[in-house]
Amino acid sequence: MSLAGLRVMGIDPGLTRCGLSVVQAGRGRSVLPVAVGIVRTPATAELPERLKRLSAGVNQWMDDYRPDVVAVERVFERGNVSTVIHTAHASGVLVLAAAERGIPVHMYTPSEVKKAISGNGRADKKQMTTMITRILGLTEPPKPADAADALALAVCHCWRAPLLARTAALLNSEGATS
Amino acid sequence: MSLAGLRVMGIDPGLTRCGLSVVQAGRGRSVLPVAVGIVRTPATAELPERLKRLSAGVNQWMDDYRPDVVAVERVFERGNVSTVIHTAHASGVLVLAAAERGIPVHMYTPSEVKKAISGNGRADKKQMTTMITRILGLTEPPKPADAADALALAVCHCWRAPLLARTAALLNSEGATS
């Protein structure tokens, strides 16, 4: 099964800075970069205003790049709880934007992404940036630097998707014959 | 300043069960019940589908009851982190629904609500239900039982709003003369 041409949007959820990327799957394991950037919302604004701006920002990206599928970092416990709650608010709004357009959403933990990209679930930021720069054939590390995670999510999905598709096909055929 | 006629929607965020209420402020401290209910999403569905259904549910309520203001329970650390993250995803979507309609959102912690309604920030569920039943002049406790929190949030806002308005006016007048 070939995924060539599949457009994947990677989303690294955040309320102050939300990383967004778009890549296109090529032949085999090749992945082409399409776009990378950050949607910011001001920390001085109230939560409703911030969520509205974030939603408008991601919807604009979806209008501009028409992704076939979205890969989002799964929010889990780390650091302080107040940050986790803010990120989870943001994530809810981002996942909703995809769901309302009927775009499939896949969620990956940071360690799943790290393992897929570098072979090491505990790779540090520098290792990840080096790998992403190489995989996408960039002449220099992606900018802004903190958008590299959004690219890594999208590449992770490109590489995991064929496996997910084969697993789903296998489960379906087992279901059909049992 | 009179709030009489103000329509307040109370939202107790949740992904599996989200409590919703609408009340109307009367004269003085009187508050009239308008509606109370629950929006459910199936635990077997994926997160994107659940958030889409929750958003559709709260938007339907907003279409039906046209609230002037929304009072939402603030998500904070309690119980297990996975539940907190789910609730925060839901809350993001609920707050967004209000923000996109330009409806002001006020957030209250559970203890602020308990204190406003019963005078005791640690009141238990039974005390709260008794108070809400009495305040709203109901002949029996509100049903479903877990929607009582959504009513309490809305009543809390009716009683806190005049104070918030006076504080805002005071701050504005100080700003104007300084």
- Would residue A2 count as lying in a domain? no
pLDDT tier, B177 (very low <50, low <70, confident <90, very high otherwise) = low
Domain count, chain A: 1
Cα of B103 to nearest chain A Cα, Å: 9
- Predicted pLDDT of residue A58: 98
- Would residue A62 count as lying in a domain? yes
The Cα–Cα gap between B162 and B12 comes to 22
The Cα–Cα gap between A47 and A75 comes to 18
Contact A48 B99 (CB under 8 A): yes
CATH code (residue A50): 3.30.420.10
Contact A85 B100 (CB under 8 A): no
- Would residue A1 count as lying in a domain? no
Contact B84 A89 (CB under 8 A): no
Q: Which domain holds residue B82?
A: 7-173
Q: Which residues of A are annotated as a binding site for Mg(2+)?
A: 12, 73, 146
- Would residue A84 count as lying in a domain? yes
The tens digit of pLDDT for each residue in A85-129 reads 999 999 999 999 999 999 999 999 999 999 999 999 999 999 999
**Annotated catalytic, B73?**
yes
- Would residue B178 count as lying in a domain? no
The 3 state secondary structure assigned to chain B is: CCCCCCEEEEEECCCCEEEEEEEEECCCCCEEEEEEEEEECCCCCCHHHHHHHHHHHHHHHHHHHCCCEEEEECCCCCCCHHHHHHHHHHHHHHHHHHHHCCCCEEEECHHHHHHHHHCCCCCCHHHHHHHHHHHCCCCCCCCCHHHHHHHHHHHHHHHHHHHHHHHHHHHHHHHHHC
Q: Does B147 touch chain A (CB under 8 A)?
A: no
- ipTM summary value: 0.89
Q: Cα Rg for chain B, rounded, in angstroms?
A: 16
The tens digit of pLDDT for each residue in B17-72 reads 999 999 999 998 999 999 999 999 999 999 999 999 999 999 999 999 999 999 99
- Would residue B1 count as lying in a domain? no
- Would residue B67 count as lying in a domain? yes
**Annotated catalytic, A146?**
yes
Q: Does B75 touch chain A (CB under 8 A)?
A: yes
The Cα–Cα gap between B10 and A174 comes to 47
Which residue, among B2, B44, B54, B46, has the nearest Cα to B24 in the 3D structure?
B2
Q: Does B99 touch chain A (CB under 8 A)?
A: yes
Q: Which two tokens stand for residue B101?
A: 């309609």
Q: Under a CB-based contact definition with an 8 Å cutoff, are residues A106 and A113 in contact?
A: no
Q: Under a CB-based contact definition with an 8 Å cutoff, are residues A21 and A32 in contact?
A: no
- Would residue B90 count as lying in a domain? yes
Q: Does B47 touch chain A (CB under 8 A)?
A: yes
